[in-house]
Structure 1
Amino acid sequence: MRFSPIREFILNNLTAHQKDIVKTVIRKFGLSRQAVLRHMYVLIQGGKVTAHGKTKDRYYKLKPIVQKTVTITITPKLEEDTIGRKHLFPHLSGFSSNIREICEYGFMEIVNNVLSHSEGDECTLKLKITDRNVHLYVHDNGVGIFRKIKEHFDLENQHHAILELSKGRLTTTPKTHLGDGIFSIIHLFDTVQISSEGLCWKYDSSKGHQ
């Protein structure tokens, strides 16, 4: 596919503008709607983008190059690096060493948190790689991080737990963990989101805590 600054802009901004990417490109470059749709067609035909919905409600997404989901039973002997080598790390071989290291470190820190603190017995891992992004999802059926922090520190509610978590290093097991895992991750990834029991804490590197 021949390089185009317009299509490059679309790929770089599509995740944030899935429903209004056409209008966003029109405002940016002063093109007609038909001209923008031709660029979208090229990206769709090239396997970079997928279109969803009918014409009026159409939205677009970056097409996954890799999309993998695996559910694992949590056992006392399970180790995060073993999970990573088997299910995740091979899919990162095409990236530069610094990207691989960031993804591997982030994955192992989060999974270690699940294995050490969640008290759950099942964990679902999802990896999605697109032309512009790497998405890592980790979900467990345990007690929930905000509740865990609230109960350990005897806080008034889970909102206070989120506040404590957002301040920086925090751990409920100081003898075995420094509490810097999540603190480090939020400064390595563009976006980090933690959801539990209907509450959500999100860190966006361009906006800060939300």
Structure 2
Amino acid sequence: MNIKELILKLALEQGKIKTSDVVKAIDSTKSRQHVNSVIRSMVSNGLLLKGGATAGSFYVLPQNVHLIGNEVTVKLKREGLEEHKIFNDLKEKAPFINELKENISSVLFYAFTEMLNNAIEHSRSRYVEISIRKDEKDITFIIRDFGVGVFRNVMQERKLKSPLEAIQDLLKGKTTTQPHSHAGEGIFFTSKVADIFILESFGHRLRIDNTIKDIFIEELAPQKKGTKVIFVLSLGSKKHLADVFNQFVTEPGEVGFDKTEIKVRLYASGTVYISRSQARRILAGLNKFKTIILDFDRVTTVGQAFADEIFRVFQQKYPDIEVVPINMAESVQFMVDRVEKPAHLK
């Protein structure tokens, strides 16, 4: 009996098995590392399903999916994957997905397929790891690849100076490294429909917490290759996809994504004075929108050059675009009001 046959036999007899069970059964004739390698291959080929995480990981036969409970993990070869087929396959392996409310199910399907599609088409990773779980409060999925990294990819393709600039561009929407085949809306809208949305890649983390309406950008150590996406949605959420999409349309009833919102503080680089060059960074690529909401929350003051660049120079160049400042402190309002507005705005 080879090791694969032994693993299948143990899984049939015990229901749930762990790596340590297999190592014990073969009496240490093979290393734990070798056993792990065989098990990972069996998971990739659909012979086993993975439950739990890290030290709590266990494995079951596909016919014993009910033993997994409310979590399932798979590792798949990226090439040739189709995101909607993977989601449907997970629904069979994780029956709890079918028990979700209609609006939660729709949001989950949209977010999952958008993020998996990104990994399939952009990561150049050999494998993709997928985990989906439900607890008492939330439904969560994690998609991880081991490829080029989302921030580095955007940075390189758009010739940006740093991962931070790549994060800033992703937050605007309509940012893509394949404009001929992608609209660049996936990450933007997925981050809006989530309660918590996290992107981690090569030592940088973007965390969007819509429960408190805030965004955090952090540096991580050690750096890990590839991209990790974490999506969390409350089981009690009232969100509907159409409502979220409509928030970013200038005219109600129109079809399209022509409105965006920018948090100015993410471009401040640690200083209260914001320059003309920083204003240009904010404005880069925004000529694709009809309406731009500039959120000045927690920005205590801005430079005259910054205000002039946005509210005079940009508005003269793009008179059909509406720039709407919100949450301005008194000092910011003062600088914006001082700008000599273009004639069409007077």
| TM-score grouping bracket, smaller chain normalisation | 0.5 to 0.7
Correspondence list, 1:8-157, <5 A: 66-75=70-79, 77-88=80-91, 90-157=95-162
Unaligned runs of at least 5 residues, structure 2: 1-67, 217-346
- Conserved 8 A contact 2:127-2:146: yes
SS in structure 2 of the partner of residue 138 of structure 1: strand
Q: Deviations over 1:2-52 (max 9, x none)?
A: xxxxxxxxxxxxxxxxxxxxxxxxxxxxxxxxxxxxxxxxxxxxxxxxxxx
Contact kept? 1:84, 1:107, Cα under 8 Å: yes
What is the rounded CA distance, in whole Å, between the counterparts of 1:208 and 1:185 in structure 2? 15
How big is the shift at 1:88? 4.0
- Residues 124 and 176 (structure 1 numbering): CA distance in 2 closer, same or farther, change over 3 Å? same
Is there any run of 5+ residues in structure 1 with no aligned partner, and where? Answer: 1-63
| AA in 2 matched with 1:71 | K
Quote how far apart the aligned CAs of 1:65 are: 5.2
In 2, Cα distance between equivalents of 1:91 and 1:70:
16
Greater Rg by CA: 2
The one of 174, 182, 196 aligned to 1:169: 174
Measured in 1, the distance between the counterparts of 2:143 and 2:135 equals: 18
Would you identify which runs of 4 or more consecutive aligned residues in structure 1 move more than 2 Å?
Answer: 88-91
Across the two proteins, how many residue pairs are aligned to each other? 146
Greater relative contact order (Cα < 8 A, sep 6+): 1
Report the AA paired with residue 213 of structure 2: K
Verify the 8 A CA contact 1:66 1:91 in the aligned structure 2.
Answer: yes
In 2 relative to 1, CA 160–185 (structure 1 residues): closer, same or farther, beyond 3 Å?
Answer: same
Distance (Å, rounded) in 2 between the aligned partners of 1:192 and 1:96? 20
Q: TM-score, normalised by structure 1?
A: 0.66
| Pair 1:209 & 2:212 matched | no
- The answer to whether the Cα contact below 8 Å between 1:72 and 1:124 also exists between their aligned partners in 2 is yes
Please, what is the CA RMSD of the aligned residues? 1.5
Provide TM-score, normalisation by structure 2: 0.41
